[in-house]
Amino acid sequence: MADRPKIEIDDWIRVDGRDCVVAKVREAGNSHGDCEVVLTPSKPANRDVRWTGQDWEFVATADYGGYAEKNERLKSAVATLKRGR
């Protein structure tokens, strides 16, 4: 199992084949996942993500994430997402 890659806020990562921007980094082993990301530039959503030892994956939830544009603390990540890589 590979160590979790180093990530920082506003970094781009691939999660389940989707380009995402890191909005929050958590300590390894956090019950909510390793980080929170924003994705889908046309309708930005935020989701929790964890490192599997090989890949990033979305943490299973009952919904498809929050409305990132309505959350002030996600403003920087949403702007990065909309600018693109």
Range of the structural domain that residue 16 is part of: 12-83
Residue 47: partners with Cβ closer than 8 Å, 6 or more residues away: 15, 20, 36, 37, 39, 58, 59, 61, 64, 65
Does 27 fall in a domain? Answer: yes
Counted domains in the chain: 1
User: What's the confidence (pLDDT) of residue 60?
Assistant: 87
Does 22 fall in a domain? Answer: yes
**Mean predicted confidence (pLDDT) in 48-67:** 87
Does 2 fall in a domain? Answer: no
Does 26 fall in a domain? Answer: yes
Does 33 fall in a domain? Answer: yes
User: What's the confidence (pLDDT) of residue 61?
Assistant: 77
**Mean predicted confidence (pLDDT) in 1-18:** 94
Does 61 fall in a domain? Answer: yes
Does 1 fall in a domain? Answer: no
